[in-house]
Amino acid sequence: MKKLKNLFLVLVTGITLSSCGYNSMVEKDEQIAQQWAQVENQYQRRSDLIPNLVNTVKGYADFEKSTLTAVVEARAKATSVQVNANDLNPESIKKFQAAQGELTGALSRLLVSVERYPDLKANQSFLELQAQLEGAENRISTERKRFNDAVGDYNSYIRKFPRNLYASAFDFEKKGYFEADKGSEKAPSVNFN
């Protein structure tokens, strides 16, 4: 009789949890973790290209050393900021995004300064690395969008009634989004004077 009672309790608990959307919440949470791994993977790919780019540019003796140093330092900082998939709150994402933004800025300054070096601009290795970096940036953008889509799906799912009651009881909390960098909503001004 006691075994039957325990079996009934397990069945009722299982049915209750599955009907409350618990399993769906777990799946959506895992989807976010998986998508976050893809975001990190693409940032890592970009980071892995940087030493080759720096070494290619370093071969040009009169190239600005401070620009190269800024890229190397920004890369070191960006790779040191890690965010655990279980800690995807707005603050941790902003910290990660800020470090990656510094690296993006340093790379942009490097690529702009290359314009003063026609031999470097014509170097096949440099051109290939530049194309790979451009591809990496596109992949990062795509994965960030997919991550935000997964976060939006999860956040709206756990906030709808009655799932919001179960979500809070089981510690399913809202996740943070990647947001556009400050000032990116303004188009840059171009002046050909």
Closest CA to 90 of 155, 24, 158: 155
Q: What percent of the chain has pLDDT over 90?
A: 55
The two structure tokens encoding residue 58 = 């370093």
**Residue 35 and residue 152 in contact, taking contact as beta carbons nearer than 8 Å:** no
Residue 21 is predicted with a pLDDT of: 86
Q: Tell me: the pLDDT tens digits for 146-163?
A: 999 999 999 999 999 989
Closest CA to 96 of 78, 110, 116, 108: 78
How many other CB atoms sit within 10 Å of the CB of residue 121? 13
pTM above 0.75, yes or no: yes
Type of residue found at 176:
G
Q: How confident is the model at residue 192 (pLDDT cuts 50, 70, 90)?
A: very low
Average pLDDT over residues 12-20: 58
Taking the C-alpha atoms of residue 65 and residue 121, their distance in angstroms, rounded to an integer, is: 17
The highest-confidence range among 1-5, 113-117, 178-182, by mean pLDDT, is: 113-117
Place of tokens 């892995």: 48
Q: How confident is the model at residue 48 (pLDDT cuts 50, 70, 90)?
A: very high
**Distance from chain centroid for Cα 135:** 15
Type of residue found at 157:
Y
**Residue 72 and residue 54 in contact, taking contact as beta carbons nearer than 8 Å:** yes
Average pLDDT over residues 17-40: 88
Segment (H or E) for 124:
helix 124-159
Q: How many residues does the chain have?
A: 193
What is the third-level CATH fold of 28-169? Four Helix Bundle (Hemerythrin (Met), subunit A) (1.20.120)
Segment (H or E) for 15:
helix 2-19
User: Can you give the residue ranges of every domain in the chain?
Assistant: 28-169
The two structure tokens encoding residue 132 = 């790979």
Residue 191 is predicted with a pLDDT of: 41
45-67 core/surface letters (b: 16 or more CB in 10 A; e: else): ebbebbeebbebbeeeeebbeeb
Residue 59 is predicted with a pLDDT of: 77
**Residue 137 and residue 46 in contact, taking contact as beta carbons nearer than 8 Å:** yes
Q: Tell me: the pLDDT tens digits for 63-118?
A: 778 888 999 999 999 999 999 988 888 899 999 999 999 999 999 999 888 888 88
Taking the C-alpha atoms of residue 167 and residue 111, their distance in angstroms, rounded to an integer, is: 47
